[in-house]
Structure 1
Amino acid sequence: MPPKRKAMADTSGNNSHTTERNAKVSKTTSSSLSSNYTAPKTRATTRTKSSSTGGRANNKKSKQKQEQVYKYCNANTLSQKKPTYENLQWPNIADFVGDEEQDIPQDGQLMDEFWCNRVSDLGFPVSKEGIRVLDKLAREQGKRDQDQRGMCVYNDWNGWGMSELMENFLKDFNKDIFKKNVSPFKKWTYIEGLACFLKTADLMEWMGNEDGERTSEIGSMLGLMLLTSYSMLSEHSLFKSSSPSSSIKNIGIITLLLLEFLIGPATDLDCGWGCEVVRLCDEAGIELDNELRKQVDFTEENLVEMREDYRKKKTGCGVDLAADYGSDGYKAFAEMGNDWSPEDDVDEEGEGKMWLRWDWELEFKEFWSNHRGGDNYDLSKWSKSEREEYTLGTKAFKKRISLF
């Protein structure tokens, strides 16, 4: 059985909670609030230092030095090693091998930068560091897979192991996301590796395990991870459409892979972050329509639906406090300023997150208090004798279940 977890904090929407949320808005003056509510754009702030001139300061003008303060990455990290890309072959490439007019190398053509830096019918660009993240995720999943070892511990063992793996992954991301000496290129590799892993891994046992609430909460945090990464890239104007000169060449296709996961394997998790992903890409000029491909099960119709969802939040949000802002839920929540908390984003029926506003630091802190990760399902940590007791066909297995 899985280790016990503390119950998540009660965030059900009720009348008292709604009243509290409305009160937060009413006491916040508009003059003290940011009007930039349409996207989580991050800009550097400035910190002013006065320079000392010693005893002669009264005869000279005081010099002031302005220093930019960044939330995610210092500016000098942009000069760190830029990513180099490899072509990661589509896992479903065989499904389209007979198609005419394939965008693939011709016989004898070299696999040069032309193919490694762009999306084609052969594959898509992933940084070398992103592939290392993918490989680590695959290894860690294998350590928690009882079938790979011919073992039978519990029906949901593999699914629980995947949840544990994802909790560890989110913890690693949390350690790095606010390290200002780590480049945005390095931080983006978490998203690359995740998207590729979710595209290539067998997720059925994870999605079908009996602890559905835990899985759903992890799914929401994966979306928050993506949205936070967009904010991180925006800090240095890196969140934009890819071009031959772009340092990051795969924002569009990586985004589509995660949206494919959301409406495909994760559709029953009821995570509502998809429309926010599309909204932020639209506002940044990242044309996801142009990135759509037959290898990714995400269509123009899906984009239309998600655009309609976020437009409703802008013009027809049903949250009570949005009525004072032209039914614009984004603006209403931005007007809450520092009084906002993650509980405010729970809908008034208590059914889930509305994705009108988010904050990685606050929400991960709550998440981590109930999702500790670890190595409880890592079978490589077991001794040889322990594994034999659960390995099908061994004497130790038969003895354990009283078969002689």
Structure 2
Amino acid sequence: MPPTKRQLFETYANASSASPPRSVSKRVKTTEKENDDESDGAQPAGATRTRPQKKTAELSEAAENENDDAGAAQAPEKISEQSEVTVQEDEADADADTSVSATTDDELTAREQHEAENAAQAKIVNDKMASPEGLEYRCMPRPWQDLRREWRDAAYNNATSESFDGESVEVGGAKEMERAQEESKRFLEKTPAEAPSWRWTVTNMANYLVNTYKDDAECRNPDNFGMYIYNDFAGYGLQEVIENQLVMFHEEFNKEDCDPHRLFVYMEAMAIWLFTSDMSHWTGLNDGARVSATMDIIGRCLLTSLNALERADLLEPGSKVKNIPMVLSMFLDFADDGEGTTAMHFDMDGNENPQTWPYFVVAYVNAHGIDIEGKGLYGIDSIADGYDDEEMAIFEEHEPGPDRWGFSAAFEAFATHWEVHAGQSNKYDIIAMEPEERMEYAFDHQDPLDTMDPDYLIH
């Protein structure tokens, strides 16, 4: 399914399911004959992919903790179809001109037809994301992960000493899920101006990027293809996805006409992706030094984007950047989750101390009166309080220049040491592998792509 038509992500996933996550297709065009033929094809072992509906696309969150989420079993609610409608007419016109002759060329395989059609549609999407339309905001569902936290908190508070064992507390039943879905539905057709009380908003560009990052992560997970390569392959695949995001941020930052708002959108997309994804494969990677160095660059990217917004007077109340509290709270939550891992083990100067960039994020919050408690994640105030004020003296010492946080030098050192190259890397992209290599690692020693619906061949 083309990225313009995809939904943001599944907000109310069946968290108790043990099935691996499904990938979203970027393609929708298949002939009737192809659909009939493909419906009979067997899925590879480990792949749990089902054909999407024509106007919606499913993307399951990674399997959640079964004990925590035993009560959540209702089907996911997805973001409004408004996002796809806004581009369908343009795409229909553009398809007539740019859709290649692959659909009538008998010499091309079904996959090659999808490849060619997707390339034409990708150009349309990229043009829209680069236009002012990409920076427009719309409402999105409240993330399931945030709802779960509130429900868990309520469950713990309501548990009696006789029934509470410290581990298994029912989180979110059918009634709670139904209420949450109905709440989101009331806002999904609205813009932030039409729903000022709804804190969950996203730019069109970030919406597209989040879907792209999720696709990129899925096609680097061998479990989705009935394959085993080695234990940390999926973790290094996530590392590659993150590094590709950092490269894009670096390229945007170095543009002569760098737009502070668009620079922040890359952090907006990263925040939503990190918050709504299972990153345990990455934080548990066997190369702790690389994870820690990457977390440092992520922090510098965030601070650099905040510095750019500050210099453009876009951190004040009423800014055209609508979701700063949400984005910052997601990063603070991610940093807090990483405190017990090697991800936050070394600070920004390479010393064996906890990384300090979350303190500077809170310093920005305090300096500009950003309502992170009222417009951020549930319970984020308790996390933010843990990073409050301790680094204010150092914060004030940093000169407010274009590269206040030394991002350029730090990124160049990072890229050199870890061999991160310009452009998008696909070393861990299973779909980009040679067929023989996939066959070598497949459980049945067959190429999983041969039996998969071409709609799910992401590239």
- Residues 253 and 389 (structure 1), Cα distance of their counterparts in 2 relative to 1, 3 Å cut: same
1:251 paired with 2:324, answer yes
Q: Is the 8 A contact 1:233 1:239 kept in 2?
A: yes
Task: Tell me the TM-score normalized by structure 1.
Answer: 0.61
With 100-109 and 248-257 compared, the bigger mean Cα shift is at 100-109
Q: Displacement of 1:248 after TM fit?
A: 1.1
1:371 paired with 2:418, answer yes
Distance 1:103 1:396 in 2: 39
1:389 paired with 2:436, answer no
* Greater radius of gyration (CA): 1
1:260 equivalent among 333, 336, 340: 333
- Residues 115 and 293 (structure 1), Cα distance of their counterparts in 2 relative to 1, 3 Å cut: farther
- Residues 232 and 330 (structure 1), Cα distance of their counterparts in 2 relative to 1, 3 Å cut: closer
Distance 1:106 1:148 in 2: 30
Q: Displacement of 1:181 after TM fit?
A: 2.5
- Residues 106 and 236 (structure 1), Cα distance of their counterparts in 2 relative to 1, 3 Å cut: closer
Count how many residue pairs are aligned between Structure 1 and Structure 2: 276
Look up the equivalent residue of 1:167 and give its one-letter code.
E
1:83 equivalent among 123, 128, 135: 135
1:290 aligned partner: 374
Query: What are the Cα deviations for residues 212-265 of structure 1, in whole angstroms up to 9, with x where unaligned?
Result: 110111011101000000111122211223x4xx42110011110111111014
In structure 1, the gaps of 5 or more residues are 1-78, 315-328, 343-356, 398-404
1:277 equivalent among 345, 358, 361: 361
Task: Tell me the TM-score normalized by structure 2.
Answer: 0.54
Q: Displacement of 1:291 after TM fit?
A: 2.6
- Residues 104 and 395 (structure 1), Cα distance of their counterparts in 2 relative to 1, 3 Å cut: closer
Distance 2:340 2:324 in 1: 22
1:151 paired with 2:204, answer no
- Residues 201 and 108 (structure 1), Cα distance of their counterparts in 2 relative to 1, 3 Å cut: closer
When the two chains are superposed, the root-mean-square deviation of aligned CA atoms in Å is 3.3
Structure of higher RCO (CA pairs closer than 8 Å, 6+ residues apart): 1
- Residues 124 and 180 (structure 1), Cα distance of their counterparts in 2 relative to 1, 3 Å cut: same
Structure (1 or 2) with the greater strand fraction: 1
1:310 paired with 2:383, answer no
Distance 2:257 2:389 in 1: 39
Q: Any idea what SS the aligned residue of 1:233 has? A: helix
In structure 2, the gaps of 5 or more residues are 1-130, 152-171, 345-354, 449-459
- Residues 384 and 361 (structure 1), Cα distance of their counterparts in 2 relative to 1, 3 Å cut: same
Look up the equivalent residue of 1:159 and give its one-letter code.
G
2:6 aligned partner: none
Distance 1:144 1:287 in 2: 37
1:205 aligned partner: 281
Query: What are the Cα deviations for residues 251-301 of structure 1, in whole angstroms up to 9, with x where unaligned?
Result: 01111011111101464222321110000121122132323443xxx5323
1:185 equivalent among 258, 261, 264: 261
With 98-107 and 247-256 compared, the bigger mean Cα shift is at 98-107
Distance 1:232 1:307 in 2: 22
1:4-403 superposed matches below 5 A: 83-89=135-141, 90-92=143-145, 95=148, 96=151, 98=175, 105=183, 111-114=189-192, 118=196, 120=198, 124-241=200-317, 243=318, 246-265=319-338, 267-268=340-341, 269-270=343-344, 271-294=355-378, 298-311=379-392, 314=393, 329-330=394-395, 358-373=405-420, 374-394=425-445
Q: Is the 8 A contact 1:85 1:117 kept in 2?
A: no
